[in-house]
Amino acid sequence: MRNRIKLIAEGALLLNALIWGGTFVIVKSALTDSSPMMFVAVRFTISTLILLPFAYKSLSGLSKRSVMDGFNLGVLLLVGFVLQTIGLKYTTAIKSAFITGTFVVFTPIFQTIIEKKFPSLANIAGILFVIVGIIFLSSGEDSVFEIFFEIGASFNFGDFLTLLCAVFYALYIVYLDIISRRNEFKYLAFSQIAVTAVLGFAAAFTFSAFELEGIQFQLTDNLILALAYTSILATVITLLLQTRYQKEVTPTRAGLIFSMEPIFAAVFAYIVLTEVLSYLGIIGCIFIFTGVLISELLTKD
């Protein structure tokens, strides 16, 4: 029974990575009609309204700890979005993709410090394969060392914010593992989505006031499609699945499964945008898949 539950959980997390991988090509064109933080705020507001009828019964009789659990997860979720969004204003997409992917390294570190759970040797080997894969996938057409040269030669404010984004997402994965064990998953999914929506609007108007990002929101077909996909599939469904099933595996294993996202993103980019991966990108996908496979086959949680 335990093996069956773990298999279902890992399948659910892999489905999350697949759905998240599809957001890239859908949101790419839609952001021409909306500023990033307004998109985030509206996306999570729609998700909150969708989930409310299914979660309202779990909102009664909440303890102070449960309220704080939902709030804290929502803050971690939003901070990751904010840091990555601002970071992209000051750095390139290649550097952002590589630096964000380092969450797979920070996750076992936080798992060890916070939960006193040490990753297995197979997990560590899997992480090394995934990191190599991310390097290849992010290196461009010319050279695998290109990404190191670009980061090392001009590490800037945007790169630093993106690195913090990876840190906060790793923290989110670890704290979700802890918090989801003592809360009803529908409530927990709803609360963090609602907190992210409210704070998202606050962040959008704050960014506007400090001239970090203008407020733009023009409802077009592309924007409606992107909001429908991200709010229903990439927020409601994925957070319900992650909140319910991530606790069945270790945070490190979850991080490795989520590292499949760039592979799915590349597949969607090929299908929708006819963007073809370079041979280095294909090698990177093989490394990432191998890393996840090593962790899956050689680790017993």
pLDDT tens for each residue of 90-122: 776 556 667 777 888 899 999 999 998 888 888
Indicate the average pLDDT of the chain: 85
% of the chain surpassing 70 pLDDT: 88
Q: Would you state the structure tokens that stand for residue 72, as one six-digit string?
A: 């804290």
- State the amino acid at position 152 in one-letter form: G
Q: What are the residue boundaries of the structural domains of the chain, listed by start? A: 2-104+147-273
Looking at residue 285, its amino acid is: C
For the record, the structure tokens of 95 come out as 């550097």
| Residue whose tokens read 């939003």 | 78
Lookup: tokens for 154: 């001009």
Measured between alpha carbons, how far is 104 from 288 in angstroms, rounded to an integer? 11
In tens, the pLDDT along 155-168 reads 678 888 888 998 99
Instruction: Give the count of alpha carbons within 13 A of 134, CB side only.
Output: 26
- Closest by CA to 284, choosing from 39, 97, 23, 9, is 97
pLDDT at 261 over 70: yes
> Over pLDDT 90: what percentage of the chain?
44
CB within 8 Å of 277: residues ≥ 6 apart: 266, 270, 285
> Measured between alpha carbons, how far is 108 from 172 in angstroms, rounded to an integer?
12
pLDDT band at 70 (very low <50, low <70, confident <90, very high): very high
pLDDT tens-place string over residues 72-94: 999 999 998 888 777 766 776 55
From residue 79, alpha-carbon distances to 63, 67, 124, 161, 270 in Å are 25, 18, 27, 10, 30
